[in-house]
Amino acid sequence: MTNLFKNNKYENIKAISSTDIRENTIRERMPGILDILLIDRTTSTSKKSRNIIWANKNYVKFGSKAYAATAQLLPELVTGSMGDVIRPRALKSKKIQKARTKSKAEVFTPTWIVKKQNDAVEKEFVSDDLEDYVQRTWLEITAGEAPYMATRYDMETGEIVPITERVGFVDRKLRRIGAEINDKAEWQRLVIEAYKSSYGFEWNGDSLLLARENLLYTYRDYYHYKWAEEPTYGLFEDIAEIISYNLFQMDGLKYTIPLTEKRVKNDKVQLSLFDDEEPEQQWIIKRGKRVKVMNWVTNKMEFFDKGV
């Protein structure tokens, strides 16, 4: 498969350029890519792959078990007749927006503030040569839909941002690569380096999937802008794999997978002060699953908190 979007060009461009990326579109036109975007690299092994979890209760009305906070986010739960389940914050109801702000302090930053803050950071190394600039490590904390990485659309209005006006740090890397490189193989090599050095983490599984999708389609946007054609399936697959490692699910306060803490009995039970009373039951909180991230220099997974 070389060109993924040959048929019905108008509808394809509309689907690609919309704020609300449909999981059905990815599943239909890029089989297997959605599966990659749902992988949780910390909990997966070479023998068994596991997905990110929902990590919120916003979807339990669709099925108490499958959509429970600790349940894995599976492809069949967000495709087919359920293809409209996950929506960007700008397209969510005001009630859901308010509830998520209250429960997890979920507030998205306006594009002009993203620009101002990324400008301030970039000022320190904007004069770097291209290779150093592209390979500089950036991390967006509590990323939501990752506007600091890629501003495909305005977080408040949901309107698509023209490619020349995008201000995320991945946007900046890709724009500079496009301006300075005219060899397609070298362009692709540097874009790969740009994605490998760009990280973000998020608590909510739905927002994390949206962030991963936005980074994937950001790649498509810059590829098409530079070369006036669509990337091949293999190129999409390469980028999706990097994204699945670099945008990860994490409790930013504890550096663990959300909701993986356990309340367990303490072996050291305090004795009652009185002989005729039962010993007081004690409990301790066992730390959740520590998050691992890919070190692309060594090509090995490392605990995130190791470098904090």
3-state secondary structure the chain: CCCCCCCCHHHHHHHHHCCCCCHHHHHHHCCCHHHHHCECCCCCCCCCCCECECCCCCCHHHCCCCCCCCCECCHHHCCHHHCCCCCCHHHCCHHHHHHHHHHHCCCCCCHHHHHHHHHHHHCCCCCCCHHHHHHCCEEECCCCCCCCCCCCECCCCCCECCHHHCCCHHHHHHHHHHHHCCCHHHHHHHHHHHHHCEEEEECCHHHHHHHHHHHHHHHHHHHHHHHCCCCCHHHHHHHHHHHHHHEEECECCCCECCCCCEEEECCCCCCCCCCCCCCCCCEEEECCCECEEEECCCCEEEEHHHHC
Q: What is the pLDDT of residues 271-304, one digit of tens each?
A: 444 445 555 556 788 899 999 999 999 999 999 9
Domain assignment present for 245: yes
Domain assignment present for 301: no
Domain assignment present for 266: no
Domain assignment present for 69: yes
The answer to whether residue 14 scores a pLDDT higher than 50 is: no
Mean pLDDT of 198-224: 96
The pLDDT confidence band at residue 238, using thresholds 50, 70 and 90, is very high
Q: What is the pTM of this model?
A: 0.86
Domain assignment present for 121: yes
**pLDDT of the residue at 109:** 84
The pLDDT confidence band at residue 88, using thresholds 50, 70 and 90, is confident
Mean pLDDT of 123-150: 96
The answer to whether residue 255 scores a pLDDT higher than 70 is: yes
Domain assignment present for 2: no
Domain assignment present for 171: yes
Tokens standing for residue 2: 């070389």
Mean pLDDT of 191-203: 98
**pLDDT of the residue at 262:** 87
The pLDDT confidence band at residue 270, using thresholds 50, 70 and 90, is low
Report d(CA 253, CA 250) in Å as an integer. Answer: 9
Q: What is the pLDDT of residues 30-49, one digit of tens each?
A: 889 999 999 999 999 999 99
The answer to whether residue 171 scores a pLDDT higher than 60 is: yes
Q: Work out how many domains the chain is built from and give that number.
A: 1
Q: What is the pLDDT of residues 1-11, one digit of tens each?
A: 445 544 443 34
Domain assignment present for 91: yes
**CB-based contacts of 166, cutoff 8 Å, min separation 6:** 150, 151, 152, 175, 218
Tokens standing for residue 130: 């291209």
The answer to whether residue 28 scores a pLDDT higher than 90 is: no
Q: Which domain holds residue 70?
A: 9-252
